[in-house]
């Protein structure tokens, strides 16, 4: 059985390590390792958990007692509900874990006053882009390296009703 729930304090280190694993996978070993220190990454997780510093959440997907994926979301000052990062361990991929995290993240963000849901990733990250496109996100901005995907926030976003026909 899969459970998507808020991260617990003792899992902060695990999420920080997987933020690094995400950077390595997306940017390559050298750039991914060098981009941020582990201290910075740990603090970045805590930033999203501290209501004095951000309006954010760190959600983890658990299967058979193990954390197999996470997503980090926050409300930006311009009213964007942003998926900051999403990661699923290789052994648990292509089973809908990231999709479950996306729906849970949308539900969390939609409980706040937001005007748009969005995420940014590397332009060649077809896996993540395919997932968000399948949920109605479209390209709203792009550079040579990065792409931003967004969709208007609607009442009920994240509860799956927008995907029913």
Window 24 to 53, contacts with ligand COA (CB under 6 A): 25-26
Q: How far apart are CA 160 and CA 98, in angstroms?
A: 14
- Residue that is written with structure tokens 């208007």 in the block: 152
- With beta carbons less than 8 A apart as the criterion, state whether 30 and 20 touch: no
Among 131, 147, 149, 157, binds ligand COA (CB under 6 A): 131
Q: Which of 134, 140, 141, 142 is in the footprint of ligand COA by CB under 6 A?
A: 134
Q: Is 60 exposed, middle or buried (0-12, 13-18, 19+ CB in 10 A)?
A: buried
Candidates 15, 98, 114, 147: give the one binding ligand COA (CB under 6 A): 98
3 binds ligand COA (CB under 6 A): no
Q: Minimum CB separation from ligand COA for residue 28, in Å?
A: 12
- What are the backbone dihedrals phi and psi of residue 24, each rounded to the nearest 5 degrees, phi first? -65, -40
Minimal distance, residue 128 CB to ligand COA, in Å: 4
Q: How far is the CB of 151 from ligand COA (least distance, A)?
A: 15
Are 54 and 45 within 8 A, CB to CB?
no
Bridge-partner residues for 134, per DSSP?
A: none
Q: Whose Cβ is closer to ligand COA: residue 110's or residue 121's?
A: 121
> Minimum distance from CB of 52 to ligand COA (Å)?
26
**Which parts of 66-95 interact with ligand COA (CB under 6 A)?**
85-88, 93-95
Indicate the burial class of 40 (C-beta count within 10 angstroms; 0-12, 13-18, 19 or more).
exposed
| Residue ranges in contact with ligand COA by CB under 6 A | 22, 25-26, 85-88, 93-99, 121, 125-128, 130-131, 134
């Amino acid at each position: 059985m899969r459970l998507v729930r808020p991260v617990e304090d003792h899992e902060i280190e695990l999420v920080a390590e997987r933020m690094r694993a995400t950077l390595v996978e997306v940017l390559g070993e050298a750039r991914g390792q060098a981009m941020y220190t582990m201290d910075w990454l740990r603090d970045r997780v805590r930033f999203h958990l501290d209501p004095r510093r951000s309006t954010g959440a760190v959600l983890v997907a658990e299967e058979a007692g193990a954390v197999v994926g996470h997503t980090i979301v926050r409300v930006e000052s311009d009213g964007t509900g942003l998926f900051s990062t999403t990661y699923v361990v290789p052994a648990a991929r292509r089973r809908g874990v990231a999709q479950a995290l996306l729906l849970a993240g949308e539900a969390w963000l939609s409980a706040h006053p937001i005007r748009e849901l969005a995420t940014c990733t590397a332009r060649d990250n077809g896996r993540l882009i395919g997932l968000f496109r399948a949920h109605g996100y479209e390209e709203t901005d792009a550079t040579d390296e990065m792409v931003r995907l967004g969709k208007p926030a609607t009442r009920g976003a994240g509860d799956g009703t927008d995907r029913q026909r």
